[in-house]
Structure 1
Amino acid sequence: MRRRTALLLSLLPVLLPGQASAQATSPLSRFGGPAIRLVVPFAPGGGADTAAHILAPSLAAALGRPVLVENRPGGRGIPGADLVARANPDGQTLGLTNTAPLGMAPLLEALPYDPDRDFTHVALIAETPSVLLVPADSRFQTFDLYLRAARSWARGLTYGSPATGSLQHLQGEMLAKAAGARLTHVAYRGTGPALLDLLNGQVDSMMAPLASAIGAVTSGRARALAVSGPAAEPSLPGVPAFAALGFPQLTATAWMGLSGPRGLPPTLVERLNGEVNRIIALPEVAAQLRAAGLTPPDRPLDAAAYRQLVADFATTWRPVVAASGMSAK
């Protein structure tokens, strides 16, 4: 009996080759440790950080591993993105990156990474438009009043943005040029400090990512004059899109998604992409994202489609950035 049992056990790899192979190549087996680092290259409280904390619990449950959000702020997201690019491609370090380090930065300066070659782009999580803000008690209660002042006042108006070289900086410069307005850019190190100065009256206005500013608007501390999405934003009733106001060239949204270092195994990429798409389609998760000013995609994108979205941003916006004369300095 013992000899028969031993013989059967010795034949298992032969009798069940498909099962043995499936276990050896299971996406979960690719993870190199008990916890997965989800690097957010920005400070806590912004749109990317919010999306990471919404995604992490469900992703951890799906993968059977803790997912720990790790903020690595500074340098417009470039150092944090570089950390992800240099990580081992074992699935233990992933990044929730966005337009800033992967879309705008490559158009403005030399980087320690290539946004296409040095990453494995896994899944789109959400997009968020920019919003033109003024303090709630500002004399500019409408976009028309704001634009009249920016055109007629000798000093013009000031507008803050999260950083020099950000998408919001570019949109402000585009608005000034298209409208023939005097808008002076004031750069900050992040949305938080810029928003604080706006609310304290240190700048006249601000171009901000909606996901980072929606709290100030819904609480009544700031007023939204226009939004850069293709249409009016459901979370901002009554606020027109720039396109509807005659400035369609400002239409753009910042995207954010899950990426890893170059060389992530295809089986792992497929598993992660499927889980992210499943999670963000859950009604409760989609509601959380929308409440935070983040819009999940209306249809699931595979990893190849998300990689193309990242590449298309550079193709679309490179000539616009060049024409604006904007730099990261």
Structure 2
Amino acid sequence: HHQANDSRRSNSDNPRYPPADFESLNANTETKQSHIFSLARSDIMAQALGFAYRMAVPAAIGIAVVQSSIYDVKGGSRAVIFDRMSGVKDAVINEGTHFLVPWLQKSIVFDVRTKPRNIATTTGSKDLQMVSLTLRVLHRPEVQALPKIYQNLGQDYDERVLPSIGNEVLKSIVAQFDAAELITQREAVSQRISSDLRKRAAEFNIALEDVSITHMTFGREFTKAVEQKQIAQQDAERARFIVEKAEQERQANVIRAEGEAESAETISKAIAKNGDGLVQIRKIEAARDIAATLSSNPNVAYLPSGGKGGNQMLLNVGRP
């Protein structure tokens, strides 16, 4: 120990080992240690990142598998399951969240709410008049038959079925009526179309809630003929009114004449029985009416005669 101290003392006293070299040696040692620590830290981080990367791929695959195995059936919808091994399953899936086997199974969702559809066609009537009709149909699929509908028709079942059977029924029913009957018996025609179309749609497991004719037009010639017929009917109604009015006036004149004849006969009988007393009464009544009329006219003056049986005079004092 004393020898080591002496050696360090002799080295420090030796000019070949100055004190500055020891400080530089210590600084280099610290730098090397810091570099070693940095390398160790980088290696640890690289290992951690590698581990995270190796775990991320299986985790992503697991999440994707879970997501693909979950499906939702929204309100107003139903679903059927297609299995790659056994085909379309008979069960109908109700609303809610459900699970399936990814890749092996697939869900097919149907909208089971009532939907409108218009069917238009042009066809001939019984009297060979061209008629253009538009039919409005409210339809929905039969829920319990969804697997069969998907197997036979697919999700676009309404596009495949309704236009075809709609035109078929329209042409069949319209051909049984004349053009005029289609107008006057429109309600009966609509009921016939509705009944036949419901039966045809039921064969494809489609329920029809309502069927009605919304538009009906005819060819130009028939439309013109109908207009002329309406004009003729209006003219006939007008002529009938004139005739009825003339007949009523004639009957009124007859009744009036009969009344006057009866009145004259009654007066004659009264004169024959009572003398001219009735005539004098009528003269008095007539004179009273004339006096009442003249009294309201300031331009007429009444001049009675002075003698018995003389003539009275009416003097017009008004300006010419």
Shorter-chain TM band: under 0.3
TM-score by length of 1: 0.23
Higher relative contact order (CA 8 A, sep 6+): 1
